Chains A and B, each alone.
Chain A
Amino acid sequence: MLSFVARKLIALVATLFGVAVLTFIITNIAPGDPARLIAGPNATPDMVETIRTEYGLDKGLLEQFTIYMSDLAHGDLGRSMVSTRPVLDELLRYAPATIELVLVAMVIGILLGVPLGVLSAVYRNGPIDHVTRIFSMSGVALPAFWLGILLQLWFAVDLGWLPVSGRLPLVATPPPTITGMFLLDSLISGQFDLFWTALKYIILPAFVLSMPCVASILRVNRAEMIEVLQSDHIVAARAHGISALRVVGVYALKNAMLPTLAMIGLRFGWMLGTTVVVETVFDWPGLGLYAVSSALSSDFKPVMGVTLFIGFLFIVTNLLVDLAYAWIDPRLRKA
């Protein structure tokens, strides 16, 4: 087990190195002169040069790369040209909002996806199955920005039940920063009103983000359940007169959970990288918004920082899924 984790960790470092090299190359071959943009539309050539020198862009690409990698080894992700701040500080500022959003979306995804998957497998080709099929197909097919704006119009503008966008009301004071996730922080500090308010703000964006996730969990879970429900040990369990609920909910579901779990892990990393649309529509100040606004202004260091960060989380999630596999399926523990 220990060597398994160690091997995975080495792979993690190697992968991150690869990601760093690739993003460095991609961002640097992209056209666009960040120094000129930062200097402003009317800046004279020597003003542009001031910026270039300040951020080390006057050096050769290879030298820039060596400096970046050695800084990286010391945990320094460089400085954003747009905000003039260290990228690491900014990542730590924006990451909690994104992680909070993805976690809530994940919970919605599991709470909707798994039971609906089980139901549609048990009542295969019945009305429930058809309805969930339509639901899951639209979950994948509906573009997030469209769904997001539509839900804003219904729930915020027309019905007035939920706020349009943001994380908290403008005049509300955020909870003391512990994790940076408002839901968690407000619970820890015992501000239940604030928790309720923050929940109202997160529900729409998290739901929109979770839609493709619900759909894929549902479909995978359904397929697995159908297979498991036909297997011998389920037939045997039924023959023994074990209650249907127990057969489905324990014996079948536990066996069907392996691929579902893999899907959940994949979806988690996938959602981290794709929150940008939802964050834009709902003005959720997270990594996605940060990455896109940085990319649009050719601000390379934050783009590389976000890529590395999400890559890191992706790999860690997969590692956790691998470990969870071993926990659910004892046969894998020996490997």
Chain B
Amino acid sequence: MFESLNRRQVLAGLMASPLLASGPALAFERTENGNVIVFGGNQAIPVLDPHVRYDWSTRMVQQAVYDALFKYEDDPAEIKPWLAESWESSPDGKVWTFKLVDGVKFHNGDPLDAEAVRYSFERGLKLNKGVAWMLKEFLAPEDITVVDARTVRFELKAPYAPFMSVLPWWYIVNPKEVQANEKDGDYGQAWLTDHAAGSGPFILGRWEPNVLYELKSVADYWKGWPNAERRPAGIIYRLIAEPAAKKAALQRGEVDIVETLTSDDYMLLSRAPGIVVESHPGSTTFGIKFNTQVGPTADINLRKAIAYAMDYDALIAVYNGAATLETSPFPGALRGHIDIPDMPRRDVAKAKEYLAKSAYPDGNITLKYIYMNGLEEARRIGLVLLDNLKELNITLELVAETWPNMVALGSRVETAPNMTSVYTTPITNDPDAVAYQYHPKSWGQYYAMHYYDNKEVAQMIDEARAEMDWDKRAALYAKIQTQIVADQPEVFGMLENRRWALRDYVKGFRFSPVRLASEIDLYQLYIDA
């Protein structure tokens, strides 16, 4: 190959821009059993156990090998019955009864019955890890009862309106298989780290930590396939750390889907032949949390002044337009979201007015802005704010911290920084998922670095989670949203679009905003080429 090149060809090769020549596309992997779709992502899956961990990559694979009573699909997110065929709740919202689909079997042939459901919830609660927080306050393991082989009943300690909304994240494991692999009473934790005992559309194939994770599709999946003839033989989730390498691998056809590229790369790829960019308004909010209790930002007028000084258009520009401004503390994908009419937007006169009313009428203070090391967008937003605050004679000091350090700083009100840029993703489509971030019980968590303290709001949040009537709940959440905006515990920023770049022969992609970060529903995908 080297010999056949003449000097002119070499020069042409050197001059050709890497973007013009997208190189030979090798296309998806073909195996004896059919097509294999390759997903390139940067986050490993150290522990697959559905009751121990969840994050976007882990849950993407959990959703592929396990089933739950319900499943989130589509945009806006809908809770679809999955293992549950029918269900009912008592008027006071405390007793929930679920009837299971008949004849569902785990991958090893064991029947998926009410006992399996009971065991899975008990396991999740007793391990006290991962998903446990979603239910532990309302559900004790002994209050789950098997009525008959296909019926299971939950008795909650108190009415909990968002109950159904967390059920899609409680996956059902096969009790017999797990118990057979138990070691020293660990509930099979060691074994489930890199094995699965589920009933989902895929089973595990090769499992090479820090390299790739292979899923093989189950031909006779009990729920059937969205596109049975074109069902892929499998999916490989491959780890690629660097955005540049990810982009190169997609261009070369070594992978079929990638996530987390730079905004510029998404722009370029959307124009490249054979590549499609999926860009959807997500439900991950970006906010700059003030410390509302300690330091200058405890002063609400200063907080308002900063909120009005911020150039919100720049927030969108940082993402090349692939973002929308927040119109409430709740993302639009949440039930009960309302648009607050007077959300602060850049208004320097108003900012100065508020500053004059604050304890720092001449500015003359230095505030810290903390962002996560390596998050280029958060850094650029900090630079914009730095520039904006000069007009108020406020100096902004940008500090990059690693994620563990940021979490540690935010865990105590004394050390919580003046301002911290935080991305938060609600776990469900229920308004409680975001509202509770503004409840004093959330203090110490990274998303509650504002240490927001409004007794009325806290009371309304408690009331709303116990209220079973949706209209009454919605009214409460409208008030909650309005009051939080009035108190300005943070600069409400924007919702970044979730983006993926795909080869155009990958079909079936369906976005749902409740999925975390780059998580997608692998079950829907197939290849058409």
Contacts and interface: CB of A to CB of B under 8 A. Distances in A.
Interface residues of A, number: 54
Interface in A30-45: 31-34, 36-37, 39-45
A293 B444 CA distance: 25
Contacts, number: 147
A158 B16 CA distance: 8
Contacts of A153: 18, 248
B18 A33 contact: no
B518 interface: no
Interface in A279-308: 280-283, 285, 289-290, 293, 296-298
A79 to B, nearest CB: 11
A164 B407 contact: no
A145 B244 CA distance: 10
Nearest to B442: A42
Given A152-B244, A285-B210, A159 B13 contact: yes
Interface string B235-262: 0101111101100110110100000000
Nearest to A292: B241
A282 B129 contact: no
Given A41-B447, A165-B240, A296-B402, A84 B245 contact: no
Contacts of B46: 80, 82-84
Given A153-B248, A170-B29, A283-B240, A160 B408 contact: no
Contacts of A34: 404
A59 interface: no
A195 B335 CA distance: 56
A41 B445 contact: yes
Q: Which of B132, B403, B405 has the most CB of A within 10 A?
A: B132
B248 A166 contact: no
Interface stretch (B20-28, B278-286, B296-304, B460-468): B20-28
B136 interface: yes
Contacts of B54: 40
Contact of A50 (B129, B212, B239, B244): B129
Residue among A33, A93, A165 facing the most chain B CB atoms (10 A cut-off): A165
Interface in A1-35: 31-34
Interface in B188-244: 189-190, 193, 208-212, 236, 238-242, 244
Interface string B33-71: 000101000001011000001110000000000000000
Nearest to A174: B208
Given A37-B407, A93-B209, A157 B245 contact: no
A47 B18 contact: no
Contacts of A41: 445-447
A37 B445 contact: no
A47 B134 CA distance: 12
A317 to B, nearest CB: 25
Given A39-B129, A283-B240, A160 B210 contact: no
A283 B245 contact: yes
A152 B248 CA distance: 8
B248 A170 contact: no
B138 interface: no
A296 B46 CA distance: 14
Interface centre among B1, B22, B402 (most CB of A within 10 A): B402
B133 A42 contact: yes
Most-contacted residue by chain B among A34, A39, A84, A161 (CB, 10 A): A84
B44 A293 contact: yes
A171 B28 CA distance: 11
B210 A289 contact: yes
Given A149-B244, A170-B38, A47 B133 contact: yes
Contacts of B181: none
A109 interface: no
Given A37-B403, A50-B128, A84-B190, A285 B211 contact: yes
B90 interface: no
A93 B209 CA distance: 9
A90 B238 CA distance: 19
Contacts of A285: 208, 210-211, 239
A156 interface: yes
A50 B126 CA distance: 11
Nearest to A171: B29
A286 B146 CA distance: 48
A145 to B, nearest CB: 8
Given A42-B445, A164-B249, 12 more contacts: A32-B402, A32-B408, A34-B404, A46-B128, A47-B132, A156-B23, A158-B18, A160-B252, A282-B245, A293-B44, A296-B402, A297-B404
Interface of A: 31-34, 36-37, 39-47, 50-51, 80, 82-85, 90, 93-94, 145, 149, 152-154, 156-161, 163-167, 170-171, 280-283, 285, 289-290, 293, 296-298
9 contacts: A37-B403, A42-B445, A157-B251, A167-B211, A283-B239, A283-B245, A285-B208, A293-B44, A296-B404
Interface of B: 1, 13, 16, 18, 21-24, 29, 31, 36, 38, 44, 46-47, 53-55, 128-130, 132-134, 136, 189-190, 193, 208-212, 236, 238-242, 244-245, 248-249, 251-252, 254, 402-405, 407-409, 411, 427, 444-447
